[in-house]
Amino acid sequence: MAHLRSWDHGPSDQNPVVFLHAFPLHSGMWEDARLALGETTRVMGFDVRGLGESPLGENACLLEHWVDDLFAVLDEHHAQKATLVGLSLGGYIALRAIERQPERISGLFLADTQAAADTNQAKEKRAAGIRQLEAHGVAPYVEGFLKGALAPSTLENRQEIVERCRALTIEQSVQGLTAALVGLATRGDCSESLSRIAVPTRVVVGAHDAITSVATMRAMAEQIPNADLHVIPDAGHLSNLENPEAFNRLLVEHVGRVSPR
């Protein structure tokens, strides 16, 4: 696997908070959250293979490979344990990572994600997305994604947020997006392991998330021992970008609970 684009800021002697980004975005989506945690917290992130500035490589892209990449980044930066912050795709990576190597995870912050695998209907939608990308390129796909992901109030009244989300997606490649869609469609189901999660876990969801609904997130949170659920107002699926103030307040509080100073 070619070298991934990653970043590591803050005290090198700390266990880091690792940000895992959503599809079809890249790790730049976490800039506000990274700044909210401040310079006294070690923060890390990376672009998953094929997205952002990370090369796709020559082989298929599965969830297992994204998790491999997470542990490789931790090893590269000499981090033994981490608190994982994952939104959507990033949450899938976090849930599989704690399933595989629970001893390396000290806390979870799961946003707008789910433990279940894709249904047949969802797989068909991914396939339709691949067809659209191959026939028409990235821009029409991005517009359709944003329309389904962002809250109606964001689309109608907050054009600066829409433009920021568009900028985080529009420069992706057809090949990278296509590979990621295959990885999303073929991921496994982590539902059975939720009851075994033994680290502090916070679950957050945008009040108007039409992709992973409040009901879906609540059901997942109820299966994780001692997890708490928070609904973020005025936000859809990209809750950290649509309501960063509320999102980052919950994040800073949770990180302080996992790693008190």
**CATH number, position 55:** 3.40.50.1820
Residue 199 CB neighbour total at 10 angstroms: 18
Within a domain: residue 98? Answer: yes
Q: Is 157 exposed, middle or buried (0-12, 13-18, 19+ CB in 10 A)?
A: exposed
Predicted pLDDT of residue 207 = 98
d(CA 46, CA 70): 8
Within a domain: residue 137? Answer: no
Please give the residue range of the domain that contains residue 204: 6-118+145-170+187-258
Predicted pLDDT of residue 183 = 96
Within a domain: residue 252? Answer: yes
Distances in whole angstroms, Cα of residue 215 to Cα of each of 112, 136, 185, 222: 11, 34, 22, 11
Within a domain: residue 138? Answer: no
Within a domain: residue 60? Answer: yes
Q: Compute mean pLDDT per 10 residues along the chain, 261 residues long, and list them.
A: 85 95 98 95 96 88 94 95 98 98 98 97 97 97 97 97 97 96 96 97 98 97 97 98 98 90 50
5 DSSP 8-state letter: P
Q: What are phi and psi of 121, to 5 degrees?
A: -65, -40
